[in-house]
Structure formats: C-alpha cells, structure tokens
C-alpha cells in the first residue's frame, strides 16, 4: 500500500512538473507594429505538452509589469504542418496576440499555470541606446545554441535572422521543432526577458530552395510550410516586408528569390527606401549575398540578380547598411558605389554553422573585414550615431564600424 502511495505521489509530481513547464518552443515575434503589438506562439503535441482540447485554447494571463490587475487573453490554435504525415498533424501551433500595447514597456504573461514570462515592446523614440542583434544561417548544434545565447546576452530588443533558420528544408518537422526548442532555451536577455525573433527567409526554408518558374505566391508558400505557419502573419503579401520601429529604425526584409522573384521586388525597394528618407537608421536584409565570400560572383543566378538589380538602388538611397547571409563566414565589403555611394554589406551568415573560407576573388577586392568564424552582429543605435560590432563565439570583437547620424 505504502509503495502504491509513493508511486502515485511520484506520478503526481511528474505531472505537476510538466504542467508547470514553460512551452519548450516559445517564440515571440512581431506581425505588426513592434511598438504596440506582440505575438507569442508555441507548439503542443508529442514531447511538447498536451494539445488544447478542440475548440478550447490555452488561457494566457497578462499585465504591464507595474499594473496590479491581470487581464485574460484567449489563444488560437492551428495544425502545424507535418509533411511526413500527409495531413495528419501531430503538433498544433498555439498563438496569443497582443494589440494596443504601450511602446517601450515591459509586460508579464503566464500561459496556463506555467512560470510567468516577460517581454518588452519597442520604444517609439531613441531615448536610451537601442540594441538589436543580427545574423543568419543557424543549424541545430552546440555552436548554434552558443551563438544565440551570445546574441541574447547583449540585451537586445530583438534578434533578426536572415534565413536558413533550421535546415529543415520545408520538410523535416523533427528538425524544425528541435530548432525552436534550441531557440526558446537560448533567447533570454540577462533579465530573463524573452527576446523576439524577426524572421527572414532563406533557401533552406523552402522545398527546392528557390522560386519555381511560373509558380504563384500561394503555390510557393506551400513549399515553405513551417516558415509561413510561423511567420505568415508578417509575410501576408507577395512582396517584401518593411518593419518600422517608431521614427528611428526600419528593416526592409527582402526575399532573394526563394518565394518571390528578385526582379518583382526592385520597384518595391525603390519606393520603400524613398518613403524612409527621413528615418535615420534603415537596414535592408536578405539571404543570398550580393557579394559572396565562399561562392563566386557568378555561382548562382540569385547572386548576380541581387547585385545587378538591388545594389544600385541601395547605393542611390539613404540606406545605412545591408545584411547578407548564405556563405557561412564573416565578410564585410564596401560596395563599388556605381549607383551613387559606397555602402557597407555585412555578411555572410554564420550563426552556428561550419564556417567556410574566403575564396571569392571578386569580393576579396572590396573586402574590409573577414573572419572564418561564426559571428553575431550587435547593432547599437543612438541619437548621435550607430555602432555595429561583430562578435565571435567567445564574445571577441571580430569587426567594428561606426556610423555618424545619417538623416535628420
């Protein structure tokens, strides 16, 4: 009898411990204005906690850190794509969305009876320095977790990842889940705050990697099921995304030929750069580099196209810099300036992958910094200027660029 109670008690404890666990794949991201919205999403199913009953969501309690009363929010849930199971989804994606939040404010939230979590909205002005971190090409490796952790330790407002998020190729759901478990564990600011994820698309998000000739936006989206399930709220239209942070920062998230043809975005780029002429800090980000470091300038047609179509437009604008990825090492180049002025390209995506050597003779001539190393870019924006530091795996500074304030 005594033995029965011991076993029963043990099982009860296990159950409680599981019920009280933060969702293993908790992701914060933005689908709208980063100053006033936030989206939290997590997966439920085998190994990730029970799926909510049909028609019932999980309850989220939330409040501003300084407020006394908790409010309630209902979650929504949908099947998470499960290509191997052909329509029989094993996992559900649960989501809670906040609107009308206050800028630059900390909020607490609690999913059912799990530990209370914290997030922060973006400020609408630069009063204190604003820091965000940037990288791309993240595997599921010890070094990937280490690089994400290093980024989160910089106390960033968010982390922008420019494609190749898990190498699941739009198919391997187990790998995709492992990636988000890795992210969720590592993406904690020093105060425990959950760091929001700003996603860009790369070839490894898409079955086949690149846009198929003649395919529609809807057909292409189906080839990147995990990316659109998680981030389709931001990427709703067949065009790039501009994420505007108050009046001080804009990220132009381009698609280097994975879902959208490159040439279909050039006009959008022109118009959206022009619209943001008075924004002091504007960054464009995409996956396949205009100035490769491992491949050559003519290695693939996307490299040629982004360099020929987008670089002159950017050189003729007030853009601060460009983030590129895909080649797995640190290389910063200054563009040739044929379209107006020379602009810095920070590349080429190594946030926890096997770093590759620099072997592109054309880019080497324009190269200002190189390291065959994983790196994360730490961008600090101030009222009087900006600094981009590239940190290696141990936090060592591999590169540093100062920017004077470039618009009024």
Which spans of this chain sit near Fe ion (rule: CB under 5 A)? 164, 202-203, 326
Cα–Cα distance measured from residue 279 to residue 286, given in angstroms and rounded to the nearest whole number:
20
Bridge partners (DSSP) of residue 323 are: 285, 346
Angle at 238 (CA atoms; ends 233, 240), nearest 5 degrees: 75
DSSP state of 321: E
Cα–Cα distance measured from residue 231 to residue 161, given in angstroms and rounded to the nearest whole number:
12
CB of 209 to Fe ion, least distance (A): 8
CB of 72 to Fe ion, least distance (A): 42
**Both tokens of residue 187?**
């993406």
For the sheet containing 376-382, what is the strand order?
A: 197-200, 159-162, 130-135, 376-382, 385-391, 397-404
CB of 167 to Fe ion, least distance (A): 9
CB of 229 to Fe ion, least distance (A): 20
Residue nearest to Fe ion (CB): 326
Separation in Å, CA 279 to CA 14, 252, 311: 52, 12, 20
CB of 295 to Fe ion, least distance (A): 10
DSSP state of 210: S
Cα–Cα distance measured from residue 277 to residue 382, given in angstroms and rounded to the nearest whole number:
18
**Shorter beta-carbon distance to Fe ion: residue 98 or 167:** 167
CB of 288 to Fe ion, least distance (A): 7
**Shorter beta-carbon distance to Fe ion: residue 151 or 202:** 202
**Shorter beta-carbon distance to Fe ion: residue 196 or 209:** 209
**Of residues 284, 287, 275, the one with CA closest to residue 252:** 284
Q: Is 144 helix (H, G, I), strand (E, B) or coil?
A: helix
**Shorter beta-carbon distance to Fe ion: residue 38 or 350:** 350
CB of 91 to Fe ion, least distance (A): 25
Bridge partners (DSSP) of residue 346 are: 323, 332
**Shorter beta-carbon distance to Fe ion: residue 166 or 272:** 166
| Maximum Cα–Cα distance across the chain | 84
Residues 6+ apart with CB under 8 A from 142: none
The answer to whether 355 and 294 are in contact (CB under 8 A) is: no
**Shorter beta-carbon distance to Fe ion: residue 120 or 287:** 287
CB of 205 to Fe ion, least distance (A): 9
Separation in Å, CA 95 to CA 28, 53, 58, 91, 141: 10, 15, 9, 13, 27
First to last CA, the chain: 78
Cα–Cα distance measured from residue 137 to residue 345, given in angstroms and rounded to the nearest whole number:
16
**Shorter beta-carbon distance to Fe ion: residue 162 or 246:** 162
CB of 390 to Fe ion, least distance (A): 19
**Shorter beta-carbon distance to Fe ion: residue 202 or 344:** 202
**Shorter beta-carbon distance to Fe ion: residue 117 or 256:** 256
């Amino acid at each position: 009898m005594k033995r029965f109670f011991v076993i029963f008690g043990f099982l009860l404890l296990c159950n409680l411990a599981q019920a009280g666990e933060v969702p293993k794949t908790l992701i914060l991201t933005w689908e709208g204005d980063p100053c006033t919205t936030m989206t939290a999403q997590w997966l439920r199913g085998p190994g990730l906690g029970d799926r909510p009953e049909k028609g019932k969501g999980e309850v989220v309690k939330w409040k501003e850190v300084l407020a006394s009363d908790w409010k309630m929010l209902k979650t929504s849930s949908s099947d998470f794509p499960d290509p191997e199971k052909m329509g029989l989804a094993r996992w559900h994606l649960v989501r809670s969305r906040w609107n009308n939040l206050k800028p630059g404010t900390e909020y607490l939230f609690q999913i059912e009876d799990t530990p209370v979590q914290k997030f922060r909205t973006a400020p609408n002005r630069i009063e204190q320095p604003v820091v965000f971190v940037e990288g791309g090409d993240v595997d599921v490796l010890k070094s990937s977790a280490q690089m994400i952790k290093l980024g989160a330790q910089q106390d960033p407002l968010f982390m922008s990842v420019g494609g190749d998020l898990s190498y699941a190729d739009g198919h391997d759901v187990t790998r995709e889940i492992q990636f988000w478990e890795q992210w969720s564990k590592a993406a904690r600011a020093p105060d425990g705050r959950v760091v929001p994820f700003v996603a860009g698309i790369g070839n490894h998000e898409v079955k086949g990697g690149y846009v198929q000739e003649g395919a529609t936006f809807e057909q292409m989206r189906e080839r990147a099921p995990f990316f659109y399930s998680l981030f389709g709220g931001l990427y709703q239209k067949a065009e790039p995304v501009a994420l505007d942070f108050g009046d001080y920062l804009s990220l132009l998230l381009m698609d280097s030929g994975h879902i959208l043809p490159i040439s279909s975005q050039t006009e959008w780029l022109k118009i959206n750069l022009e619209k943001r002429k008075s924004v002091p800090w504007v960054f464009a980000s995409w996956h396949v580099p205009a100035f490769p470091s491992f491949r050559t300038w003519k290695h693939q047609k996307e490299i040629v196209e982004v360099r020929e179509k987008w670089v002159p437009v950017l050189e003729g604008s007030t853009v601060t810099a460009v983030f590129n990825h895909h080649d797995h090492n640190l290389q910063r180049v200054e563009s040739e300036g044929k379209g107006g002025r020379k602009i810095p390209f920070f590349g080429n995506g190594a946030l926890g992958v096997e770093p590759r050597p620099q072997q592109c003779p054309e880019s080497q001539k324009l190269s200002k910094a190189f390291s065959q190393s994983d790196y994360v870019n730490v961008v600090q924006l101030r009222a009087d200027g900006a600094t981009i530091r590239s940190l290696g795996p141990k936090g060592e500074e591999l590169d540093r660029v100062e920017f004077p304030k470039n618009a009024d």
